[in-house]
Structure 1
Amino acid sequence: MYIWEDLTPAEQQLALARPAIAEQTSLSRDVAMILQRVRQGGNAVLRYFNEKYDGVSTPSLRVESSQLQAAAELLTEQQKQAIDTAYSTIYAFHAAQKPENIQVETTQGVQCELRYRPLETVGFYIPGGSAPLPSTVLMLGVPAQIAGCLQKVLCTPPSQGEQVIEPAIAYAALKCEINEVFLTGGAQAIAAMAYGTEENGTVTIPKCQKIYGPGNRYVTEAKRQITNDPKGAQIDMPAGPSEVLVIGDESANAAFIAADLLSQAEHGPDSQVILLSDSQALIQEVKVELSRQNQQLSRNEITSQALQHARLILVKDMTEAVSLCNQYAPEHLIIQTQNASEIADQITNAASIFVGPWTPESAGDYASGTNHVLPTYGYSNAYSSLSLIDFYKRYTLQTLSESGLNALGATIETLADLEGLDAHKNAVSIRLAASSMARR
């Protein structure tokens, strides 16, 4: 337990520090090499990596519709119903976010518009392995479906079982009308979607305008590199290891808090969990619950490693807790206090907030309707959770009538003069002169 008031400024900074991303220099170098190999070797390199890292031979990278259907049928009706329910709640929340074009007459004769158009080709990265994420298929596929993106590309590592793809991922992909599905994972999948691949002159994996989805540090680094490459692609948001911060007072349920902390810790050894409380008794109860519940978890080796980065911090009051939370800018924030709604209104930096004792972070991860693709590592101080708007590009349109240009022309000429841009001024002056001549 940390007592915030007893810490020096340096110790306070260390207490809120994220786990360092290990070996960043070598990681950047290794990922750059993977990106280059995929750009040069295309599908052959993807097959090589599938064999090397996943131990699976994939003569065909594409998952055909019949294969998706066959894999999806392996789910039980209960499993399908769970995905159906999550699909409906996510759809309802995101459908309500549809943007509207606007048109404004900024001055007489001058019409300005803001219009939205869906991205044509979007790419989704869906992790596989020990924790395949059909929920992420829904979080990405549903808003793309609502926005009307024409081509939805999904990359996921090949399954090591009898099916080429995880059944739950296949079912969710079909639900979201994603038919461009490919078997490739890791940084190489990001490269394939960023640059596209061909075989015998025919496109295999389409080049995507924007790439979405979580992944390990190699995937995260690959996304960072391709977004800095003019020939690459844009990404949903910067991210790092997953994290949760809980604010609790003496009224909070220690077992609930421990469960929430562990649910985030199981994402990976570098996940970070933090509790801020003004109750020393609560902190002690949470410590006991963490130990007890962790022993019962199937992924307790991972959670135990993540708990090494855990911070249980005693603050003097809730005002200090809010201040520290805004300073930390968590990916997930859970508020278990008597006045949870009032505290939520004071939060300025958090990607997704869960209010009250009956709102576990797991609800947002799966089926409440909000999106679980969120900025981490402090990026929520400037970035937002994924939403429908992230699947659109917006552009402006303006129409000036002759009278509108006559009314605004002198202003434009004067501003162009101020900036010393004669050609800008002339583009207006020549029109004003033509208008004047026509009126004679």
Structure 2
Amino acid sequence: MIQTLDLRGRTLSTTDLLALVPRSASDVGSAAAVVDSLIADVRRRGSAALLEQAERFDRVRPAHIRVPAEVMAEAAAQLDPAVRDALDEAITRVRRGTAGQVPPPVTTEVAPGARIVQRWVPVARVGLYVPGGKAVYPSSVVMNVVAAQVAGVRSIALASPAQEAFGGSVHPTILAAAHLLGVDEVYAMGGAGAIGALAYGVPDLGLDPVQVITGPGNLFVATAKRAVTGVVGIDSEAGPTEILIIADRAANPAYVVADLISQAEHDELAGSVLVTDDPALARAVEQALPAAIAEAHHRERITTSFSGPQSAIVLVDDLAQAVAFSNAYAPEHLEVQVADPHALLPELENAGAIFVGDHTPVSLGDYIAGSNHVLPTGGAARYSSGLGAYTFLRPQQVVEYDRAALSVVAEQVGALSAAEQLPAHGEAVRVRFGSDPLPGPAAGSLADD
């Protein structure tokens, strides 16, 4: 059912490991031609194109692309109390977990009268995408909206596909979650067209363009986010979900099996990978998988996921080799189920989020741990991070010199501008002093450092 990769007894470079990591065959960007045409159609025809795309892809024509306020209020009123309680708790915990991601402004005096303020400025308007395919994701509403709100974003537009089962409106649980968070601008639109609408705006809907688009989605959503990058900022081109578990003989096989299955139920292309130095654990997991999958609600898609090239049991010589493999794979979700997980943490560099110990399953992070579940996939954790308040913040330096501080470095600005053959740069400083003599660098200035 699941392949085994035996790396024992082999000395492997980073290049070797990158070639060996199991991945799905999906390629973000492979749908570029289709996506480009869908976005272009929305730019040209606005809401008419969005309605036609909903009929084509979602099998329903929304009565309203922008969901009326009363529909959202009704969805919140009808929400299952247990779900509401869980959402309230998730919102509280994610707010707490996100608060530490907003740095305070820092003022540095580089010399007397010369200071630089480092501050982080939120974008004014964002577009948040919540998928609506094989599952319903109110948790994604929480993750996206809370991060933006904590950052200080003033204007939030949320898009989610029209649902045939709900007359072309957004799923009521999504609407209820948005209502609980105070988001009142919600659109029944999905896929590439929705990403294009958020990026470029739709005048006949009163939908203004956004500055940043975040949120997970399918191949077409990921490709569309790539297509509009440069017009807007994005969080990442999120692809199919994935989990990698590093485990040794101290791990409980039942926990490992349950956690691998929990991610595989998302999608047929989801990746589930166990990396272990204990052959006995590998056998126990492999033997337990068929019965566990047979009991699962989404057994067909789980079976497809485990049978694909993206899932594997990887045998390694030791935990050092396990860490090297994990860093090459750069998993979206990394679980560490070993006797001493904290000994490995300093070496685990590339992961969207790390879940430590027997009692921290990925599913906790998906909902209510307080961390964010919008994370880089497909190896993108080698160079990028998950969603957070910082996604919506721009670091910005505010520079302020008084006259005396400028006079100290005026000649040096002039010397550098002459060296670069940009004399007007030096003149822009010198003009501020007229015929006044300019002092050389003062004692204790940066020139002496």
Q: TM-score by structure 1 length?
A: 0.93
Aligned: 1:220 with 2:222? yes
Shift of residue 266 of structure 1? 1.7
- Matched residues in 2 for 1:406 and 1:120: separation? 37
- Matched residues in 2 for 1:384 and 1:88: separation? 22
- Matched residues in 1 for 2:294 and 2:109: separation? 65
Shift of residue 120 of structure 1? 0.9
Aligned to 2:121: 117
Q: Given that residues 413 and 429 in structure 2 are in contact (C-alpha distance below 8 angstroms), is that contact kept between their aligned partners in structure 1?
A: yes
Aligned: 1:2 with 2:5? yes
The one-letter amino acid paired with 1:235 is I
CA distance 1:268–1:88, change in 2 (3 Å):
same
Aligned to 2:444: none
- Matched residues in 2 for 1:19 and 1:275: separation? 16
SS of 1:420 mapped into structure 2: coil
Which 10-residue stretch deviates more, 3-12 or 172-181? 3-12
**Structure 1 counterpart of 2:206, from 200, 204, 207:** 204
Q: Given that residues 333 and 350 in structure 1 are in contact (C-alpha distance below 8 angstroms), is that contact kept between their aligned partners in structure 2?
A: yes
Q: Given that residues 187 and 218 in structure 1 are in contact (C-alpha distance below 8 angstroms), is that contact kept between their aligned partners in structure 2?
A: yes
The one-letter amino acid paired with 1:16 is V
Shift of residue 7 of structure 1? 6.6
- Matched residues in 1 for 2:437 and 2:9: separation? 77
Greater relative CO (CA pairs within 8 A, separation 6+): 2
Shift of residue 162 of structure 1? 3.7
CA distance 1:105–1:24, change in 2 (3 Å):
closer
Shift of residue 109 of structure 1? 1.8
| 1:332-411 correspondence to structure 2 within 5 Å | 332-411=333-412
Q: Given that residues 17 and 328 in structure 2 are in contact (C-alpha distance below 8 angstroms), is that contact kept between their aligned partners in structure 1?
A: no
For the aligned residues, what is the CA RMSD? 1.9
Q: Given that residues 115 and 394 in structure 1 are in contact (C-alpha distance below 8 angstroms), is that contact kept between their aligned partners in structure 2?
A: yes
Aligned to 2:34: 30
SS of 2:8 mapped into structure 1: helix
Aligned to 1:302: 301
The one-letter amino acid paired with 1:131 is A
Q: Given that residues 22 and 311 in structure 2 are in contact (C-alpha distance below 8 angstroms), is that contact kept between their aligned partners in structure 1?
A: no
**Structure 2 counterpart of 1:170, from 167, 175, 179:** 175
CA distance 1:250–1:40, change in 2 (3 Å):
same
* Count of residue pairs brought into register by the alignment: 430
Shift of residue 75 of structure 1? 1.9
Q: Given that residues 257 and 286 in structure 1 are in contact (C-alpha distance below 8 angstroms), is that contact kept between their aligned partners in structure 2?
A: yes
Shift of residue 15 of structure 1? 3.2
Aligned to 2:91: 87
Aligned to 2:441: none
Cα deviation, 1:175-229, whole Å, max 9, x if unaligned, reads 2211110000011100000000022xxx52221000000000000000001004x
Aligned to 1:235: 234
- Matched residues in 2 for 1:375 and 1:248: separation? 22
Shift of residue 111 of structure 1? 1.6
* Structure 2 gap segments, 5+ residues each: 439-449
- Matched residues in 1 for 2:305 and 2:390: separation? 33
Aligned to 1:424: 425
The one-letter amino acid paired with 1:422 is P
Q: Given that residues 129 and 159 in structure 1 are in contact (C-alpha distance below 8 angstroms), is that contact kept between their aligned partners in structure 2?
A: no
Q: Given that residues 47 and 59 in structure 1 are in contact (C-alpha distance below 8 angstroms), is that contact kept between their aligned partners in structure 2?
A: no
- Matched residues in 1 for 2:216 and 2:40: separation? 21
Aligned to 1:101: 105
Shift of residue 361 of structure 1? 0.3
* Structure 1 gap segments, 5+ residues each: none
